[in-house]
Amino acid sequence: MTTPLSLPLLGDKFPAMEVKTTHGMKKLPGDYEGKWVVLFSHPADYTPVCTTEFVAFQKRFDEFRKINCELIGLSIDQIFSHIKWVDWIKDNLDVDIEFPVVADDRGHVAESLGMLHPGKGSNTVRAVFVIDPKGNLRLMLYYPQEVGRNMDEILRAVKALQVSDANGVAMPAGWPNNELIGDRVIVPPAQDHATAKKRSAEYDGFDWWFCHKSLG
């Protein structure tokens, strides 16, 4: 009888691990203390959807850096495969991949983070983990192999988490382009009757439990 994996939950400390990457050995999340991190897995090197994803992440590399966020790729390919694939992308697509890629050739990292799908052989799914500057896991996304990710959404999600943390607010759907309140943010609902009665006078909103404000 196999023991079920205990996958990390949102808010948990990201499990400490040392990994081999195209930029040398790295300690996660220790080497990135004080920074946000987007760790993302791809099914395999030299595959078309994964290639489009790597190019898309690299095109936004500077935007992630501007918000103190580092990118790290991962698959169960060997380090030699990663190096040659990154070189291929540079030589054939004129895109220089600047972020490290983890070579999880034994699958230990992928298995511990739930990146392996039993129905898809040994390839990793398209997982995304957002880690905050304190090493806490803040967001997880899983995509099937057949569907490439939207990197603008991942960038938006990191920005939203940062704004939420800094201001103690919640972020509406599609922020900063929400259909109801635009780029405004949601004030956390009142937790007692007296505060609820004052909310409509203190903030704009649709009711005491749905108030919003501008950060500008």
Range list for CATH 3.40.30.10 in the chain? 17-149
Task: Average the pLDDT over 195-207 and give the result.
Answer: 91
Task: Average the pLDDT over 143-163 and give the result.
Answer: 95
Task: Average the pLDDT over 43-51 and give the result.
Answer: 93
Task: Average the pLDDT over 176-197 and give the result.
Answer: 94
Closest CA to 69 of 140, 132, 144, 125: 132
Range list for CATH 3.30.1020.10 in the chain? 168-216
**CATH top class, domain 17-149:** alpha beta
Report the predicted TM-score, pTM, of the whole model to 2 decimal places.
Answer: 0.91
Closest CA to 31 of 102, 88, 85, 95: 102
The per-residue DSSP string of 3-60 comes to: PPP----TTSBPPPEEEEETTEEEEETGGGTTSEEEEEE-S-SS-HHHHHHHHHHHHT
Per-residue confidence (pLDDT) for residue 4, from 0 to 100: 46
CA distance 131 to 129: 6
167-185 pLDDT per residue, tens? 999 999 999 999 999 999 9
CATH placement of domain 168-216: 3.30.1020.10
Q: What is the DSSP letter of 170?
A: B
Is cis: bond before 176, omega within 30 of 0?
yes
CA distance 116 to 159: 28
Per-residue confidence (pLDDT) for residue 120, from 0 to 100: 56
**Residue 195 pLDDT greater than 50, yes or no:** yes
106-138 pLDDT per residue, tens? 778 877 787 776 555 556 778 999 999 999 999
- Are 72 and 40 contacting, i.e. CB atoms less than 8 angstroms apart? yes
**Residue 141 pLDDT greater than 60, yes or no:** yes
Determine phi and psi for 74, rounding to 5 degrees. -160, 140
CA distance 210 to 104: 45
Structure-block tokens of residue 85: 């694939």
Per-residue confidence (pLDDT) for residue 19, from 0 to 100: 94
Mean pLDDT taken over the chain: 91
List residues with catalytic annotation: 50
Q: What is the CA radius of gyration of the chain?
A: 20
Q: How many CB atoms lie within 10 A of CB 34?
A: 9
Reduced to 3 states (helix: H, G, I; strand: E, B; else coil), residue 62 is helix
